[in-house]
Structure 1
């Protein structure tokens, strides 16, 4: 039995003509002369375009892989005896009286009205467009919202002096929307990856925008590589290349510029670097952020192998950080390689079982 759905997906706008072979994903009868609507045929024609969920900038995507156990296999078990969380009184134990609030944090607490918060919304266009609704909703619900990686550098109006962000209207907008609706619950958290760290994004957010919570990032559930976006203009590609990102193909190459202008290809890709985890460096960075003024320091890690999850738990505990977010495989994304989303990492249910035992 195959758990994967290969060679055809709504994420890549592909389909097979007949039922698929469980081994290859190809049509059980691959027909000569078929116009080629499957991933194999489309990849031969469109190349790298077929790596990612489409259309970029207008979608978020999640894995289609089915696992032997997922959250649908769990049911809530109730009881007709007694009550949890309130007095066992028929006139008091009614649903409007249910209290879902909680507090998180190592020392000073963040009060939440509800026991959930948003995933990080980073530099993709879909995240930028819908930030206002998400931030207002999080503030009204009284929960945490996370500003994801690369926001300052992707902001065309950002000012960077001596390798440091000194102004970012987009970051200011995102923080400001949450604060305008803040009712004393939840928090707006600014996430940082390798490039954000180099650009001193956390320092800017804390010192200039009054941000109190910063998140270090080891990875995410959707992919085992850094963040990615597509760039439709040479100007933007050159700007991000200048800001220290990996841009492919090289926008400074005269031949590449010539081919782009002639329409040989229509977009560049911006990639973020992978952070290399080191225990002592992690502790040093946590203390550095606290010294800069971060009231809360959190960590997000991806669906890595069990020993890396153990490292995250150990390092987070030793550093006394305020929150550890563990992102399971198949996680949502604005741009991640579709096959990687489906075929790498530990699924959430299994990962949480490991986390519970650790």
Structure 2
């Protein structure tokens, strides 16, 4: 039994010609016809190359897997008890579910207070994150749970000031932090700043701690969903060159004449900005934790 749909997906704007007759092992049409325009991912990648691996349209979507697992959360029930109550006083006049207390505390010293037991993980430099930050930050702050600012926010901001390889001013990062703090109530929740390899080299967390009052940081070594670095598409040559100069891997190299000429001629329309995957050892991790604690971080 195949658990995934191969070689066609709305995420990559591809489909099979024989939609009702698919080879399960490969996901290809049961009859691959000579002369087909190539609607599936195999055909599309033959003439569009690596473009076919990216969910489309880039910058305005989030995407998820179509894998059909044989087990999911709908197969589980949360069973109650016939005696007593949890999370509220065992009083029939009080024990209604809107009154249940689900507050919790997290962290080594349990000093981060949450009104509800969940957290929004890293939302970084993507357009989707930035365009929806107002609602996310205000909603999380009012509801009393932590929100994590993801990777690359400072360096992807063209208005950031970087001097001698270190961030000195990052208006987008500052706006995100201040908006959450403005709506934070009674000390519940927290704003967390994540850092990948590039952020660490640029001193983003040190800047956030010393200049923006951040107390909680997160160390990041890779993408949990795919074990590679983060990637974005860059449609502007000047911005691609700026990111290359700020230390990112940008493909093709926007500083090379051949790539510049090809882009201007329309041979390709987008550069790829890649984030590096961190390679961690226990000693490196402990050393970095000490650096951040010495700098003023309370939670890591």
**TM-score, with structure 2 as normaliser:** 0.96
8 Å CA contact 2:229–2:276 kept in 1: the answer is yes
Deviation for aligned residue 1:119: 1.8
Deviation, 1:173, is 0.8
The answer on 1:199 being equivalent to 2:202 is yes
Q: Distance in 1 between matches of 2:9 and 2:80?
A: 38
Q: Distance in 2 between matches of 1:276 and 1:51?
A: 25
Which has the larger displacement, 34-43 or 45-54?
34-43
Residue aligning to 1:263:
266
- Separation (CA, whole Å) in 2 of partners of 1:53 and 1:222: 14
SS at match of 1:166: strand
RMSD: 1.2
Give the whole-Å Cα distance in 2 for the aligned partners of 1:234 and 1:12: 24
Question: Which segments of structure 1 move beyond 6 Å, counting only runs of 4 or more?
Answer: none
* CA displacement 1:282-311 (0-9 Å, x = unmatched): 1111111011011111xxxxxxxxxxxxxx
Q: Which residue of 2 aligns with 1:27?
A: 29
**How far apart in 2 are the matches of 1:243 and 1:218?**
19
Asked whether the equivalents of residues 195 and 205 of structure 2 are also in contact (C-alpha less than 8 Å), the reply is yes
Bigger relative contact order (CA 8 A; separation at least 6) = 1
Shift of 1:208: 0.8
Give me the whole-angstrom Cα distance separating, in 1, the residues matched to 2:158 and 2:165.
15
Aligned pairs for 1:98-247 within 5 A: 98-107=100-109, 109-183=111-185, 184-247=187-250
Give the C-alpha shift of residue 73 in structure 1: 2.5
Gaps of 5+ in 1: 298-358
Alignment partner of 1:283 out of 268, 283, 286? 286
Which segment drifts farther, 76-85 or 284-293? 76-85
**Gapped regions of structure 2 (runs ≥ 5):** none
Residue in structure 2 matched with residue 5 of structure 1 by the alignment: 5
Q: Shift in Å at residue 89 of structure 1?
A: 2.3
Aligned position for 1:308: none
Match of 1:45 in 2: 47
Secondary structure (helix, strand or coil) at the match of 1:280 reads helix
Residue deviations 1:163-211 (CA, integer Å, cap 9, x gap): 1000011001110110111112100000001110000000110111111
Q: Highest CA radius of gyration, 1 or 2?
A: 2
Distance in 1, Cα, partners of 2:104 & 2:74: 25
Question: Cα offset for 1:264?
Answer: 0.5
Aligned residues between the structures: 297
* In structure 2, C-alpha distance between the alignment counterparts of 1:246 and 1:197, rounded to whole Å: 15
